[in-house]
Amino acid sequence: MSPRALDPTIRAAVTAEAIRILGTEGRAALTARRLARDAQTSTTAVYTYFGSMDDVHRHVRRHALGELIALLDASRATADPVADVVRASAIHVEHGRRNPAMYRVMFVDQPPDEVDDPGTAVFTRFAKLVDRCVADGRFRPGQLHDPVMWAGEIWAIGHGVVLTASTELLPAEQVSALHADLLYRVCVGFGDVRDLAMRSVDAGMK
């Protein structure tokens, strides 16, 4: 007799609850019993889909990163590469602000012993966008160009903005203004013309 087919709705429920628990209470709160209770299933079902709680942690991080990467990939390239990199940062920040628990899983509390870190795919996309800005003459490195470093700086701006927004110390409109100003200044620092940078930031933030 063949085994009963796995139910994708159970896997989805376990994934959603794992994101909520990890994102609001941290790794210490994630246990098979807690996960089974909150997902309204059994511990046997949890272990059927995931071998351990570390496996759950790795799975939900990859799931969360997959959502962000899909949003980045859905943003079509335009004739303005600087606006495109700004738009990618805006997508990063908006996704984090709307999904704080998921964001914590992606970029704050990472699972142990992660092999082939899926977060690298996010940096790769930012690096390619930076390369387009260099190729178009908008970003003009004075020394050896390192797109990964510049991409990391743009990502770090978004990361800081998401964490600032999560504190709720600033109104939402001030957080957005802070984000736009930081992006403008870093683009100028990378060699862009001030007026062009301002127009591109305005276009990318819309």
Q: Where are the alpha helices (DSSP H) in 26-119?
A: 32-38, 43-49, 53-74, 81-98, 100-107
The per-residue pLDDT for range 187-206, each reduced to its tens digit, is: 999 999 999 999 999 999 99
- State the pLDDT at residue 144: 67
Residues 38 and 65 in one domain: no
Tell me how many domains the chain contains.
Answer: 2
- pTM, whole model, 2 decimals? 0.89
Residues 47 and 73 in one domain: no
- As a whole number, mean pLDDT of residues 163-186 equals 94
Query: In 10 A of CB 162, how many CB atoms?
Result: 23
Give the CATH number of the domain where residue 18 resides: 1.10.10
Describe the crossing of helices 100-107 and 53-74 by its angle, rounded to 10 degrees.
110
Three-class DSSP category at 125: helix
**Block residue for tokens 């990163």:** 65
Of the pLDDT bands very low, low, confident and very high (cuts 50, 70, 90), residue 1 is very low
Of the pLDDT bands very low, low, confident and very high (cuts 50, 70, 90), residue 88 is very high
- State the pLDDT at residue 111: 78
CA–CA gap between residue 110 and residue 154 (Å, rounded): 21
Residues 39 and 91 in one domain: no
% of the chain with per-residue pLDDT over 70: 95
**Cβ–Cβ under 8 Å, residues 200 and 80:** yes
**Cβ–Cβ under 8 Å, residues 204 and 72:** no
The per-residue pLDDT for range 109-139, each reduced to its tens digit, is: 877 666 778 888 999 999 999 999 999 999 9
Residues 18 and 102 in one domain: no
Q: Determine what percent of the chain falls in helix, strand and coil, rounding each to the nearest 5.
A: 75, 0, 25
Of the pLDDT bands very low, low, confident and very high (cuts 50, 70, 90), residue 3 is very low
Kindly tell me if the per-residue pLDDT of 6 is higher than 80.
no
Range of the domain at 97: 60-205
Residues 37 and 81 in one domain: no
Kindly tell me if the per-residue pLDDT of 161 is higher than 60.
yes
